[in-house]
Amino acid sequence: MPGRSCSLLALMTLLAEAPPALLSTEKVGKRTLAWENPLSGECGRRMVENDMATGMRIIGGRSAQAGAWPWQVSIQIYQKGVGYLHLCGGTLINKDYVLSAAHCTLKSLDPGKWRAVFGLHQLYMQTNYTIYRQVEFIWIHDDFNKKTYENDIALFKLKKSIKYNEYVQPICLFNSSRPLTDEIPCYISGWGLKKENGSASYILREAQVKLIPLEICNSLGWYMGSVSKNNICAGSESGHVDSCQGDSGGPLMCYLKNEDKYYLIGITSYGYGCGRPRSPGIYVNLAKYKDWLHSKLNNRTTTLCSHHMLIFFTVLWVASHYSKIISD
237 belongs to a structural domain: yes
302 belongs to a structural domain: no
- Cβ atoms of 31 and 270 within 8 Å: the answer is yes
- Cβ atoms of 43 and 36 within 8 Å: the answer is yes
| 117 & 206 share domain | no
| 96 & 198 share domain | no
Q: Give the length of the chain.
A: 328
Percent of the chain with pLDDT over 90: 56
Q: What is the CATH number of the domain that holds 164?
A: 2.40.10.10
SS3 of residue 262 by DSSP: strand
Q: How many domains does the chain have?
A: 2
| 199 & 232 share domain | yes
Strand partners, 203: 122
* 99 Ramachandran zone, left/alpha/beta (phi>0; psi -120 to 50): beta
At 61, the pLDDT band (50, 70, 90 cuts) reads: low
Q: Domain containing 106: what range?
A: 70-170
Q: Please state the φ and ψ torsions of residue 114, each to the nearest 5 degrees.
A: -115, 155
| 281 & 211 share domain | yes
Render pLDDT for 210-219 as a digit per residue (tens, 0 to 9).
999 999 999 9
CA distance 129 to 206: 20
The yes-or-no verdict on residue 164 having pLDDT over 80 is yes
Question: Known catalytic residues?
Answer: 103, 152, 248
β strands within the chain, DSSP E: 62-63, 72-79, 83-92, 97-100, 114-118, 131-140, 154-158, 172-173, 186-190, 205-212, 231-235, 251-256, 261-270, 281-285
137 belongs to a structural domain: yes
Strand partners, 283: 232, 268
Which of 26-30, 37-41, 75-79, 278-282 has the highest average model confidence (pLDDT)? 75-79
263 belongs to a structural domain: yes
279 belongs to a structural domain: yes
320 belongs to a structural domain: no
Indicate the pTM of the whole model: 0.77
- Cβ atoms of 249 and 217 within 8 Å: the answer is no
At 41, the pLDDT band (50, 70, 90 cuts) reads: low
| 137 & 188 share domain | no
Torsion from C-alpha of 91, 186, 165, 109, nearest 10 degrees: 10
Torsion from C-alpha of 298, 303, 307, 313, nearest 10 degrees: 80
266 belongs to a structural domain: yes
CA distance 323 to 328: 9
Write down which residue in 123, 142, 170 finishes a domain.
Answer: 170
Question: What b-and-e string marks burial along 126-162, b requiring 16 or more CB atoms within 10 Å of the CB?
Answer: eeebbbbbebeebbbbeebeeeebbbbbbbbbbeeeb
214 belongs to a structural domain: yes
At 181, the pLDDT band (50, 70, 90 cuts) reads: confident
| 178 & 273 share domain | yes
At 173, the pLDDT band (50, 70, 90 cuts) reads: very high
135 secondary structure, DSSP code: E
SS3 of residue 104 by DSSP: helix
| 152 & 164 share domain | yes
Render pLDDT for 126-141 as a digit per residue (tens, 0 to 9).
999 999 999 999 999 9
